[in-house]
């Protein structure tokens, strides 16, 4: 029983890890970033490339991926997303184009493969990442064997969630972000540099996805298309949790993770995912504002 | 005289606050009734209750003999109540004529709307309404390009095309220039007699121009009812709404 | 106004003439390929109808396409030669025998737990009817709930997206019934009154082209009806439409279902032309690709969306000789798509319309009969425009 719950918990924390960035870009900024999954992918490739070329370890890749994907997110916001605020479905479509571009950039090695130049670690093939030996073991908690890597994921997710909460609800930047969420024009009139804050928020959300990518690379094969399935999962977590509610995202990630783990334990992974999709549809139909939205009025 | 609209002890509360509390009112056929009251007096909420936007918790609403309490908005509209919103809403991607064309489809069923084109009798009506609202020369203009006043008139025109039994107009002159307000008054006066109209309005000059009967609301209740002069003399109204300056001060 | 209408009609006639004449200059291989792209053109019409005219962005159009495809593919699978040669009097799909438990009966009725569902598909027309009926029922059921609950915008997109992915997983998981990941291949030929539609034959091309023209013209007429106008009005301002007395969900449901039926039809035609049905039809990327076609061509133009779909695929096919170019093409599509959303939100059709308007104005200018009142926009303050 405990191991089923634990697996559900670790599944949920991976979901949350991916969803956390989306919760900010979608929840706070009203942008459906379909390239979010590609940020995860870029994060994963940072680990691969960092190991191959810079000989840095798994842990050192975490901040590096955060910076790289953060910069990438910042660029995407400046070039594409900036022009689309208020046009929700158009942000979805445009960022889908960005997503394809990023996938192809990795697959074609930035186009160099046309000239016969190949970069080790990129290209269409599968990549694997070695996690440090101490992470692969198990540890015993209350008599149950627990995989250290899964435990590590849960802890990192918890830490990132806490940091995000601090940033959003206990910092000056967070106040500005929330003001823009409520009313961008009013916020601008109050002297908030809306453009700068938007770019920063988007960069932060993307950076979180990059960190998720590093974590992901430790137990999944890394390949150019790996992100597209994730963005769907992450997106569903956010919608089910209630758009704009950080706590909602946490709880819904936990819920969907537990359902996924629980159903998978009785049937198989494919059906478990199908059940999760079905649950998501039901929840949206019954409560379109999300399970855990605490809206007044 | 036949009673067009009967409101019988209607009420609704939001989070424990009674926004409209036991309001009763009769509006006769062909009458032009003005609803007055300060912000939060419950005028718009009352319109919401009549038009089905808000579900009432107590009381009943009748349109002529038919009880329409808590029907869905589209059913109420179909029964003959046309509602103009405070913030004008029209179909911005359509031309002025296109807006009226859509509004003129008075049969709501898909089956009967699978034909192309607007029947001649209705086209005639649309021309009349274009004249009445003064939008004839803008008939092919996209609604998105209209001025604020013109948008208000278009929305009014869309309702008139449907020949409703009762028109609910929520601040039809909000944000208008003096000229536009005057023209709106002319349009509404032109409708008098043919339609029963209930207007919410703040602009006293406008009210003075059009009003026959006035109902004053205060804190969700009906405070007074009567002609313009009667309302001006009414002590309770002076006290609650107009302050000691009297009704004319409000116009400035 | 008149010129615009005339140009529009000319575009339709030109397009129809073009696809009817294309086989005269194309080889068999290309006839088959273009036929596939025409099928995608039909899908794009369905997307445009639903999204451009109804404002409903369905990210699960692949569900209806896939449903149509699988229904007909089941019939054609039973009609294939291999299904007849499995040692039974009645056809049995080969993959069912490969997956059968040892000692299981080799009859379609009971080879596995769900195989009886295949029984009626022995009649090809059952498959054809189901190919329309299933998408209609799915869309009707979903739409009834979603639109009645006044779920709109992105939430509809998420629901349709989740649903297509759900069904895809169920189809993959039901391996003994559906052949899972591999899909249904090795299909028989579609027959009408003894005439077989060989995928590479001109007849098959014209079958698809005929349905495309039918769909295109039919949809065009449909959006010009009063019901079509009301649908567009609902897209513009749902609330205003409701307070004018229109039952908004019914209209949305109707057009959503029509769009689903068209997608189902396209799915069936695709099976006839491409000779397979697979879960990839219900991949997320395929459904979004359909939206991309419509967006590039012009979401609010049925013909534009249709041409968009065909054009993209023709270009992709012509440069797909080299494998790496295919990948490069995807990247180009990505960039082009971003640019279109940013700078050309009305797609190629919008571009063409602007061009037509400029032409019209030139004509109007050259004729000296213009009176001051002809261009009323000039007198209207534009302050209200967003």
Q: Which two structure tokens, joined as six digits, stand for C4?
A: 């615009």
Inter-chain touch C159–A104, beta carbons under 8 Å: no
Rounded CA-CA distance C139/C65 in Å is 12
CB within 8 Å: C146 and A80: no
When pLDDT is averaged across residues C185-189 and rounded to a whole number, the result is 91
CB neighbour class for A123 (10 Å; exposed up to 12, middle 13-18, buried from 19): middle
Residue B136 lies in a domain: no
Domain count, chain B: 1
Say if strands B3-14 and B58-63 run parallel, antiparallel, or are unpaired: antiparallel
Segment C198-205 mean pLDDT: 92
CATH of the domain at B27: 3.40.50.300
User: CA of B230 to nearest chain C CA: how many angstroms apart?
Assistant: 34
Phi, psi of A223 (to 5 degrees): -150, 160
Least confident segment among A220-234, B148-162, C8-22: A220-234
Cα B3 to Cα B26: distance, rounded to the nearest angstrom:
7
pLDDT number for residue C381: 36
- The per-residue pLDDT for C136 is 97
Average pLDDT rounded to a whole number, residues B182-196: 87
Window 226-245 of A: residues touching C by CB (8 A cutoff) are 228-229, 232, 235-236, 239
SS3 A268: coil
* pLDDT over 50 at C377, yes or no: no
Cross-chain Cβ contact C330/A100 below 8 Å: yes
The two beta strands, C190-192 and B213-218, are: unpaired
CB contact under 8 A, A285 and C341: no
Work out the average pLDDT over B123-144: 92
Is C146 in Cβ contact with A285 (below 8 Å)? yes
Categorize the per-residue pLDDT at C370 as very low, low, confident or very high, splitting at 50, 70 and 90. very low
Which residues, in sequence order, are CB contacts of A251 under 8 Å at separation 6+?
Answer: A241, A291, A292
Structure tokens at A238: 């956010």
* Lowest mean per-residue pLDDT among A170-174, A293-297, B35-39: A293-297
Q: How far apart are CA B153 and CA B160, in angstroms?
A: 10
Q: Locate the domains of chain A by residue range.
A: 21-224
Q: What is the pLDDT of residues C260-297, one digit of tens each?
A: 999 999 999 999 999 999 999 999 889 999 999 999 99
B23/C283 Cα distance (integer angstroms): 57
Q: What's the confidence (pLDDT) of residue B207?
A: 85
Q: Cβ–Cβ of C244/B145 closer than 8 Å?
A: no
Q: Do B113 and C226 touch (CB under 8 A)?
A: yes
What lies within 8 Å, CB to CB, of A291 at 6+ separation is A240, A241, A242, A248, A251, A252, A255, A283
Could you report the per-residue pLDDT of B87-101, keeping only the tens digit for each?
889 999 999 999 999
Written as one string, the DSSP assignment of C320-339 is TTSHHHHHHHHHHHHHHHHH
Residue of B63, B90, B91 for testing the chain C interface, max C β-carbons within 10 Å = B91
- Over residues C322-329, mean pLDDT: 76
| C154/A273 touch (CB, cutoff 8 Å), yes or no | no
- Cα within 13 Å of Cα(A81), Cβ side: 32
pLDDT at residue C380, rounded to an integer: 35
More confident of the two residues C263 and B231: C263
- Provide ipTM, 2 decimals: 0.89
Partners of residue C218 in chain B, C-beta under 8 Å:
none
Q: Do B113 and C225 touch (CB under 8 A)?
A: yes
DSSP string of C280-324?
Answer: GGG-HHHHHHHHHHHHHH-TT-HHHHHHHHHHHHHHHHHTTTSHH
Question: Structure pTM?
Answer: 0.90
Is the residue at B101 inside a domain? no
Tell me which chains share at least 3 CB pairs under 8 Å with chain B: C
Q: Is C212 helix (H, G, I), strand (E, B) or coil?
A: helix
Domain span holding position B241: 3-91+148-251
At residue B111, the pLDDT reads 85
Q: CB–CB of B207/B189 below 8 Å?
A: no
| Residue B87 placed within a domain | yes
- Residue C173, chain B, CB below 8 Å: the answer is no
Interface test with A, best of C60, C164, C166 (most A CBs within 10 A): C166
Say how many CB pairs under 8 Å bridge A and C: 117
By C-alpha distance, the chain C residue nearest B105 is C226
Q: How far apart are CA A162 and CA A149, in angstroms?
A: 20
Model confidence band, residue A149 (pLDDT cutoffs 50, 70, 90): confident
Residue B138 domain-assigned (yes or no): no
B115: chain C residues, CB-CB within 8 Å:
225-226
> Is C159 close to A285, i.e. CB distance below 8 A?
yes
B1 touches chain C (CB under 8 A): no
Give φ, ψ of B216 to 5 degrees.
-105, 130
Residues written for chain C: 386
Contacts B102 to C, Cβ<8 Å? 226, 229-230, 233, 241, 244
Please check whether residue A266 touches C, CB under 8 A: no
Q: What average pLDDT does the structure give for chain C?
A: 88
Say if the Cβ atoms of C232 and B73 lie within 8 Å: no
More confident position, A14 or C204 = C204
Rounded to a whole number of angstroms, the distance from the CA of A56 to the nearest CA of chain C is 31
The H or E element spanning position B35 is: strand B32-36
Sort residue C347 into left (φ over 0), alpha (ψ -120 to 50) or beta. left
Query: What integer is the mean pLDDT of B189-201?
Result: 88
Domain boundaries, given as residue ranges, for chain C: 2-283
- The SS3 of residue C184 is strand
């Amino acid at each position: 029983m405990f191991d089923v719950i634990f697996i559900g918990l670790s599944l949920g924390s991976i979901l949350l890890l991916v969803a956390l960035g989306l919760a900010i870009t979608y929840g706070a900024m009203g942008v459906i970033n379909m390239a979010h999954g590609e940020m995860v992918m870029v994060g994963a490739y940072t680990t691969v490339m960092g190991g191959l070329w810079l000989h840095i370890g798994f842990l050192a890749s975490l901040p590096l991926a955060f910076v790289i994907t953060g910069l990438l997110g910042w660029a995407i916001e400046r070039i594409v997303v900036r022009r689309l605020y208020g046009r929700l479905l158009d942000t979805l479509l445009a960022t889908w184009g960005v997503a394809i571009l990023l996938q192809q950039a990795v697959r074609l090695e930035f186009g160099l493969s046309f000239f016969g130049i190949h970069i080790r670690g990129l290209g269409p093939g599968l990549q694997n990442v070695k996690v440090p030996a101490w992470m692969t073991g198990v540890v015993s908690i209350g008599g149950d064997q627990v995989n250290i890597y899964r435990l590590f994921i849960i802890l990192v997710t918890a830490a990132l969630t806490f940091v995000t909460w601090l940033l959003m609800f206990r910092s000056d930047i967070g106040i500005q972000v929330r003001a823009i969420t409520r009313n961008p024009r009013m916020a601008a009139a109050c002297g908030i540099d809306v453009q700068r804050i938007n770019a920063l928020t988007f960069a932060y959300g993307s950076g979180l996805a990059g960190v998720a990518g590093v974590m992901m690379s430790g137990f999944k094969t890394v390949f150019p298309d790996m992100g597209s399935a994730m963005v769907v999962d992450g997106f569903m977590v956010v919608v089910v949790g209630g758009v704009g509610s950080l706590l909602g995202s946490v709880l819904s990630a936990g819920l969907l993770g537990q359902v996924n783990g629980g159903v998978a334990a009785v049937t198989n992974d494919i059906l478990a995912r199908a059940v999760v999709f079905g649950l998501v549809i039901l929840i949206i139909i019954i409560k379109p504002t999300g399970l855990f939205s605490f809206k007044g009025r | 005289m036949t009673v067009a609209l009967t409101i019988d002890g209607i009420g609704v509360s939001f989070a424990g606050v009674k926004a409209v509390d036991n309001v009763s009112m009769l509006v006769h056929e062909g009458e032009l009734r003005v609803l007055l009251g300060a912000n939060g007096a419950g005028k718009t909420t009352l319109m919401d209750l009549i038009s089905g936007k808000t579900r009432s918790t107590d009381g009943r609403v009748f349109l002529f003999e038919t009880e329409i309490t808590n029907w869905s908005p589209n059913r109420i509209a179909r029964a003959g109540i046309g509602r103009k919103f405070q913030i004008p809403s029209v179909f911005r991607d359509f031309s002025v004529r296109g807006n009226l064309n859509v509004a003129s489809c008075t049969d709501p069923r898909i089956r009967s709307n699978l034909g192309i084109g607007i029947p001649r009798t209705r086209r005639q009506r649309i021309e009349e309404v274009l004249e009445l609202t003064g939008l004839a020369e803008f008939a092919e203009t996209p609604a998105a390009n209209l001025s604020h006043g013109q948008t208000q008139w278009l929305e009014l025109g869309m309702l008139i095309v449907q020949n409703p039994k009762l028109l609910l107009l929520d601040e039809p002159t909000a944000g208008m220039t003096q000229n536009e307000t005057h023209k709106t008054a002319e349009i509404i006066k032109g409708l008098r007699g043919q339609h029963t109209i209930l207007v919410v309005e703040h602009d006293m000059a406008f009210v003075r121009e059009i009003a026959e009967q006035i109902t004053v609301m205060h804190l969700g209740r009906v405070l007074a009812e009567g002609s313009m002069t009667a309302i001006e003399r009414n002590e309770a109204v002076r006290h609650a709404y107009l302050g000691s300056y009297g009704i004319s001060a409000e116009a400035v | 106004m008149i010129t615009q209408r005339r140009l529009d009609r000319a575009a339709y006639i030109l397009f129809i003439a073009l696809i009817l004449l294309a086989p005269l200059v194309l080889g068999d291989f290309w006839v088959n390929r273009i036929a596939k792209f025409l099928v995608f053109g039909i899908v794009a019409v369905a997307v445009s109808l639903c999204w451009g005219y109804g404002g409903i962005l369905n990210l699960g159009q692949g569900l209806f396409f896939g449903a149509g495809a699988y229904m007909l593919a089941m019939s054609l699978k039973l009609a294939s030669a291999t299904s007849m040669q499995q040692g039974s009097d009645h056809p049995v799909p080969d993959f069912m025998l490969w997956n059968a438990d040892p000692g299981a009966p080799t009859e379609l009725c009971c080879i596995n737990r769900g195989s009886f569902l295949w029984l009626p598909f022995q009649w090809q027309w059952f498959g054809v009817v189901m190919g329309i009926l299933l998408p209609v029922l799915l869309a009707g059921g979903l739409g009834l709930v979603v639109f009645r609950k006044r779920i709109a915008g992105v939430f509809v997109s998420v629901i349709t997206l989740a649903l297509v992915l759900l069904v895809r997983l169920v189809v993959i998981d039901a391996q003994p019934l559906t052949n899972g990941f591999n899909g249904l291949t090795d299909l028989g030929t579609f027959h009408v009154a003894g005439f077989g539609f060989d995928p590479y034959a001109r007849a098959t091309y014209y079958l698809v082209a005929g349905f495309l023209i039918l769909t295109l013209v039919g949809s065009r007429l449909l959006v010009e009806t009063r019901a079509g106008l009301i649908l567009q009005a609902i897209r513009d301002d749902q609330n205003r439409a409701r307070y004018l007395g229109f039952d908004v969900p019914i209209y949305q449901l109707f057009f959503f279902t029509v769009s689903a039926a068209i997608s189902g039809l396209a799915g069936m035609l695709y099976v006839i032309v491409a000779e397979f049905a697979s879960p990839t039809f219900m991949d997320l990327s395929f459904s979004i690709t359909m939206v991309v076609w419509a967006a590039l061509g012009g979401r609010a133009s049925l013909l534009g969306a249709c041409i968009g779909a065909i054009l993209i695929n023709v270009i992709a096919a012509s440069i797909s000789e080299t494998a790496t170019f295919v990948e490069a093409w995807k990247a180009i599509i990505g960039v082009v798509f971003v640019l279109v959303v940013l700078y050309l939100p009305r797609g190629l059709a919008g571009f063409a319309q602007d061009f037509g308007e400029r032409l019209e104005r030139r004509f109007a200018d050259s004729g000296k009969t213009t009176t001051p009142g002809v261009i009323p926009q000039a007198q209207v303050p534009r302050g209200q425009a967003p």
